[in-house]
Copies of this chain bind each other. A is one copy, B any other.
C-alpha cells in the first residue's frame, strides 16, 4: 500500500531509510544517533554511511556498552568518555574550537562535543575543571580562550560558567547545559535557563546535554575561519 518514489539520495535498510546525501547538502559529516537503536541497527547504518562516504569519518553517538563493543568490532574508533565512535578517517582540521567544562561530571558531554567538532573538521583544544567557584583556574587560561575561533562552554548545576567566560573574551560561544545536579536543577533546566539569561552578550545555547549540536555548530564557525586563514 506504500508506493513512495525511489530516491537516489536515500537508502532503505528495512527498519530505516537513511539520508546518504546530507553531507552534500550541508557540508557536514553523517551521524547515527544511537539512543533507542540496537547495536545491530547501529552497525548497519554506520556501515551503509561509511560505504557511501569512505573518505570521511562517520559519527555514532549515545552508544550503550554493547553498541560500543559492536562498532569496535567493525573497526570504528571508540571514545569511552563520549560514548561515541567514528568510522573512517578524520578530516584535516581547519580552525580551533575551545571546549571548556566546569566539573568532572560534565566530562561526557564535553567529550561528545570535542569528538563531534573533530569529525566536522575543526581542531579541538579542551580546558577542563574550570568551575566558577575557583576563578583562579579560569583566569589562568584566558589566553587559551582568546585563541579559539569558537568556544563551547559546558556546565551543569547553576550554569554560570558561560557568563564568566563571556565577560573575559569576545570569541563566539555556544553554551551547553548539562543534566548534572539534583533537586531544583530539574534535570538541567536550571542551567538551561541561566544560560539563556546570561548577562554576557553573544552567548547562544543548545539543548541539555547536547554536546553533538554544540560541536557541529562550533566546527562550522571555526572551519570557515580556519580555511581562510590557512595560508
Contact = CB atoms under 8 A, between A and B. Distances in A.
Nearest to A164: B132
Interface string A215-229: 011001100110011
A158 B195 contact: yes
Q: How many copies does the complex hold?
A: 8
Nearest to A200: B133
B224 A149 contact: yes
A136 to B, nearest CB: 7
| Interchain residue pairs A-B with the least CB separation, the first 3 | A183-B208, A26-B170, A133-B167
19 contacts: A1-B124, A2-B127, A9-B136, A26-B167, A37-B104, A133-B200, A135-B164, A149-B224, A182-B209, A183-B197, A183-B209, A184-B189, A184-B197, A190-B194, A193-B194, A196-B206, A196-B207, A204-B206, A205-B205
